[in-house]
């Protein structure tokens, strides 16, 4: 339940506390902010977040938890579990009496980008460009070579490649690297038809995931489950199904491992 700051400050906060801190006598001019706020997935459905932080160096009465500048709750422990319906910026502030500290912050928002490079069909007649693509665990993406001599560091970064014949002849596909070399990262795909990238809020359950996905049309939206348990949504922004074959994309990468919320 959300609580207003007015409610917090107007109530005489005389609370016997344990764990994170306890009452200080008097009302100080300043309160040291908590530090090291982290967000980790929680709950069986992977749609809740557990916030943890390091206590204020002052013996705070408690902590105020915010999401996108709205008060979520006040707590006395250095942790809080929340199931959000939106992404955004969490803040935690310490308080003693009516004095509130500065905030420590952490974001659940996606890392988004529209890469400038094309990702080419691996079986193209000429080697026009790289045919693999992948992300770091903080959501930076890049294209990578799929040649047999590719260095292990590049193989470790590749999350999908573009081809058709490797899974079945026919339309172009984005394919999990483990279909090519068993030692490469396994990636799973869920394909949506139509332009739903901007409204797609939650990665789907596991009933229809595959290790490849058809590239059916521009604006096709695909959700990926990539290495280290991160969800990514991509939209095919351009494709060429003749000649060298390629796709262009934009993406939103959820940096919190295992967290299914994408909007």
Q: Within this chain, do residues 124 and 249 fall inside the same structural domain, yes or no? A: yes
The answer on 122 and 34 residing in a single domain is no
Say if 56 falls within a structural domain.
yes
Q: What is the pTM of this model?
A: 0.87
Q: Phi first, then psi: what are they for 8, rounded to 5°?
A: -60, -45
- Report the number of distinct structural domains present in the chain: 2
Is 261 inside a domain boundary?
Answer: no
Quick one: 202 and 228 in the same domain? yes
Task: Give a yes or no: residue 258 inside a domain.
Answer: no
**175, 233: one domain:** yes
Considering the domain architecture, whether residues 66 and 179 belong to the same structural domain is answered as: no
220 found inside a domain:
yes
Is 63:78 a contact under the CB 8 Å cutoff? yes
**Whether residues 103 and 123 fall in one domain:** no
**Cα separation, 41 vs 258, whole angstroms:** 6
103 and 117 share one domain: no
Instruction: Identify whether the C-beta of residue 229 lies closer than 8 Å to the C-beta of residue 204.
Output: no
Instruction: Say yes or no: 135 and 96 in one domain.
Output: no
pLDDT tens across the length of the chain (263 residues): 444 444 444 333 333 333 454 444 556 789 999 999 999 999 999 999 999 999 999 999 999 999 999 999 999 999 999 999 999 999 999 999 999 999 999 999 999 999 988 999 887 666 678 999 999 999 999 999 888 778 888 888 999 999 875 555 457 889 998 888 777 789 999 998 778 999 999 999 888 899 999 887 788 899 999 989 999 999 999 988 777 788 999 999 999 999 999 99
Question: Strand 230-240 vs strand 111-113: parallel, antiparallel, or unpaired?
Answer: unpaired
Q: What does each C-alpha distance from 36 to 41, 69, 111, 127 come to in angstroms?
A: 17, 19, 20, 47
Tell me: do 66 and 120 sit in the same domain: no
Residue-range definition of the domain harbouring residue 144: 111-253
Q: Is residue 259 part of a domain?
A: no
127 and 217 fall within a common domain:
yes
């Amino acid at each position: 339940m959300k609580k207003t700051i007015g409610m917090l400050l107007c109530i005489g906060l005389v609370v016997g506390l344990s764990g994170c801190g306890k009452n200080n006598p008097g009302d100080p001019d300043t309160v040291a902010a908590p530090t090291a706020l982290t967000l980790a997935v929680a709950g069986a459905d992977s749609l809740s977040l557990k916030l943890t932080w390091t206590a204020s160096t002052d013996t705070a009465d408690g902590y105020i938890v915010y999401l996108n500048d709205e008060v979520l709750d006040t707590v006395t422990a250095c942790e809080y579990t929340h199931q959000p319906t939106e992404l955004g910026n969490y803040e935690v502030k310490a308080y003693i009496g009516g004095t509130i500290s500065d905030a420590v912050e952490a974001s659940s928002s996606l890392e988004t980008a529209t890469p400038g490079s094309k990702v080419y069909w691996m079986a193209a007649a000429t080697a026009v460009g790289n045919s693999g693509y992948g992300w770091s665990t903080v959501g930076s993406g890049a294209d990578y070579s799929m040649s047999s001599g590719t260095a292990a560091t590049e193989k470790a970064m590749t999350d999908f490649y573009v081809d058709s014949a490797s899974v079945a002849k026919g339309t172009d596909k984005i394919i999990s690297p483990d279909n090519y070399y068993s030692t490469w990262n396994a990636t799973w795909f869920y394909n949506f038809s139509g332009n739903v990238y901007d409204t797609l809020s939650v990665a789907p359950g596991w009933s229809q995931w595959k290790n490849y996905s058809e590239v059916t049309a521009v604006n096709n939206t695909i959700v990926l489950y990539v290495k280290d348990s991160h969800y990514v949504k991509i939209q095919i922004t351009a494709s060429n199904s003749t000649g060298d074959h390629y796709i262009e994309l934009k993406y939103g990468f959820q940096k919190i491992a295992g967290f299914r919320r994408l909007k």
